[in-house]
């Protein structure tokens, strides 16, 4: 069994150290504890250790788990970080405060529709493909800018574009990982120049294996699972 409490305090220490060393990490770095494949009991253990922000990548699993955790009187915040099908948008909007894996306009249209139905606003991050092996995220700047333009035009009143998200490739080549993260860092500047009304702030980048590099490259939120909850059997 993973010692969730001591893992969390270890991670927070490392985050702080990485942030102190980084010239690009200016805002406090948030920790999204990725609890996918781990049971509700592990989430509750993390909450009791002071963690309130979680990430999940499958809606059905997340809904079951977090409905239960909330029924126990806890009030964790949840981000969806995995690729999202349109028919899961309704549940996603119900259980989460942020969808980090927004990768196409059709999904934004569905999220807007579901948010409007329940009068809820939700944060979205644009997921950007920066070199990871799977093809998750916006693949071209054209597609990303088209989506941002629709937001700037006011087409999605319930969606708050708050950040960018990426996954670096799984490789030992640190320069390749850094290139991924710096691409996201530079893209934020480009987007805020092009669409100043959107005020993109967050850079969600960095996982168990590369979060210190991500912070060095300006991450504002790291998504960490294995180093907190142990391996996913
Ligand atoms: C699973 C997952 C993580 C966490 O990965 P670890 O290596 O366990 O820290 C982060 N981001 C996304 C999108 C994930 O799917």
> Given this model, what pLDDT does residue 123 score?
98
Mean pLDDT for 210-232 is 97
For ligand 1, what atom is nearest to the CA of residue 34? 4
pLDDT at 131: 85
* pLDDT on residue 146: 98
**Given this model, what pLDDT does residue 37 score?**
97
Q: How confident is the model at residue 66 (pLDDT cuts 50, 70, 90)?
A: very high
Based on its alpha-carbon atoms, the radius of gyration of the chain, rounded to whole angstroms, reads: 17
The reported pLDDT for the residue numbered 133 is 81
- pLDDT, tens only, 2-12: 899 999 999 99
pTM comes to: 0.97
Q: Locate the ligand 1 atom nearest the alpha carbon of residue 165 and give its number.
A: 13
Closest ligand 1 atom to 81 CA: 13
Would the pLDDT of 42 be above 90? yes
36 Cα nearest atom in ligand 1: 1
Q: Is the pLDDT of residue 191 over 90?
A: yes
Query: Per-residue pLDDT for 233 more than 80?
Result: no
Rounded to the nearest angstrom, the distance between the alpha carbon of 186 and the centre of ligand 1 is 22
SS3 200: coil
Question: b/e for 110-138, b at 16 or more Cβ within 10 A?
Answer: bbbebbeeeeeebbbbbbbbbbbeeebbb
Check if 36 has its Cβ closer than 6 Å to any atom of ligand 1: yes
Question: Residue 111: CB partners within 8 Å, gap ≥ 6?
Answer: 89, 92, 93, 99, 102, 122, 124, 156, 158, 159
What is the per-residue pLDDT for 135? Answer: 79
List pLDDT tens digits, range 113-147: 999 999 999 999 999 999 888 778 999 999 999 99
Ligand 1 pocket test, pick from 129, 212, 223 with the greatest ligand atom count within 8 Å of Cβ, gives 223
Q: Which two tokens stand for residue 212?
A: 């210190």
Mean confidence (pLDDT) of the chain: 96
Pocket lining: 208 vs ligand 1, CB cutoff 6 Å = yes
């Amino acid at each position: 069994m993973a010692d969730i409490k001591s893992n969390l305090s270890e991670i927070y220490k490392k985050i702080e150290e990485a942030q102190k060393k980084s010239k690009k990490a200016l805002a406090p770095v948030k920790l999204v504890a990725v609890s996918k494949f781990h049971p509700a009991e592990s989430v509750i253990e993390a909450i009791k250790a002071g963690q309130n922000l979680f990430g999940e990548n499958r809606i059905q699993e997340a809904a079951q788990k977090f409905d239960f955790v909330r029924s126990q009187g806890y009030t964790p915040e949840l981000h969806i970080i995995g690729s999202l099908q349109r028919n899961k948008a309704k549940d996603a909007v119900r259980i989460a405060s942020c969808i980090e894996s927004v990768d196409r306009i059709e999904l934004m249209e569905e999220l807007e529709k579901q948010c409007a139905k329940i009068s809820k606003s939700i944060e979205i991050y644009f997921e950007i493909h920066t070199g990871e092996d799977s093809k998750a995220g916006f693949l071209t700047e054209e597609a990303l800018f088209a989506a941002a333009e629709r937001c700037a035009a006011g087409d999605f009143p319930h969606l708050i574009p708050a950040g960018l998200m990426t996954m670096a490739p799984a490789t030992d080549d640190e320069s390749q990982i850094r290139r991924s993260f710096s691409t996201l860092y530079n893209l934020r500047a480009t987007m805020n120049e092009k669409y100043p009304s959107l005020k993109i702030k967050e850079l969600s980048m960095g996982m168990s294996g590369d979060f210190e590099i991500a912070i060095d490259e300006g991450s504002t939120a790291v998504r960490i699972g294995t180093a907190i909850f142990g391996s996913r059997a």
